Amino acid sequence: MGYKEEFIQIYQDKVTREGSQQFLEWLQKTDFFTAPASSKYHCACLGGLVQHSVKVYQVMMEKHFVQGADSEESFAICGLLHDVCKAQFYKESFRNVKNEQTGSWERKPFYQIEDLFPYGHGEKSVFLIERFLRLKTSEAMAIRWHMGGFDDAARGGSFAISQAYEKYPIAVKLHLADLESTYLREQGTSEVRK
C-alpha cells in the first residue's frame, strides 16, 4: 500500500466528525498527495508530504498515545493534517548544477516555495482545516505550534508556545513526533540532495 492509500485509510477510519469527508475531497483536488514535504531537506520528493504526514502520525501513535487519555481521532487529525499548509506551496523548477565527476553542467530539478496564501505555517494549516471541520482547541493548538522553536513567533520571543505546551499535552506530542519523523526516520528521503 502506498502512502496516499494509507493516509486515506487511516483518515477514513479515525476521522468521523462533520465535514471530514468534504475536507478529504478538497485535499484530493490539491497537490497534497504529490507535493514534497520540504524544498530540499526531508521528503523533498514526489509524494513526500503525504509520506511525512503518515510517518508523523505513526510516531505519535507508537510513542505518545495513551489509551483512555488520548483520542485516536485527535491524533489522526494532528498527525495527518499538521502540514496541510504545504499543499499548493511548492513549485518544481530546474537549475544547472555542475557534476563534480564529469565537470559538465546538468539540468537538475528542485523545489521552490511559491506561497500564494502567506498566512504563516501552523496557523495556515488550522485555517485550512477549519474551513471544513471544527477542531478541538487542543488540536488547533497542537497544529498551530507543531514547529516548536522553528516557528517564527517562537524565534521572535513569543511565550505563547510555552503556554500552549503547558496546557495541551497533544501539542508537545505532535512536536516531538514531527521532530523524530523529520530528523531520524526520514533521513535520505530528499531527492534534491542526492
Residues 129-147: pLDDT tens digits?
A: 999 999 999 999 999 999 9
Instruction: With respect to residue 65, please indicate whether it lies within any of the assigned structural domains.
Output: yes
Task: Count how many domains the chain has.
Answer: 1
Q: What span, in angstroms and rounded, lies between the C-alpha atoms of 111 and 48?
A: 12
Would 190 be classed as within a structural domain?
no
| In-domain check, residue 98 | no
Residue 70 DSSP SS3: coil
The C-alpha torsion from 21 through 22 and 24 to 30, rounded to 10°, is 170
> Could you report the average pLDDT of every consecutive run of 10 residues in the chain (194 residues)?
96 98 98 91 89 97 94 98 94 84 85 86 96 97 93 86 95 97 89 64
Q: State pTM to two decimals.
A: 0.90
Residue 59 lies in a domain: yes
Residue 39's contacts (CB-CB under 8 Å, 6 or more residues apart) are 90, 110, 111, 112, 113, 192
Distance (Å, whole) CA 64 – CA 122? 20
In a domain, 101, yes or no: no
C-alpha cell of residue 175:
512536536
The candidate with the shortest Cα–Cα distance to 178, out of 69, 52, 93, 67, is: 52
Q: Which helix (H) or strand (E) holds 92?
A: strand 90-98
> 160-175: string of b/e by CB count within 10 Å (b at 16+)?
ebeebbeebebbbbbb
Domain assignment of residue 70, yes or no: yes
Structural domain containing residue 152:
3-88+121-185
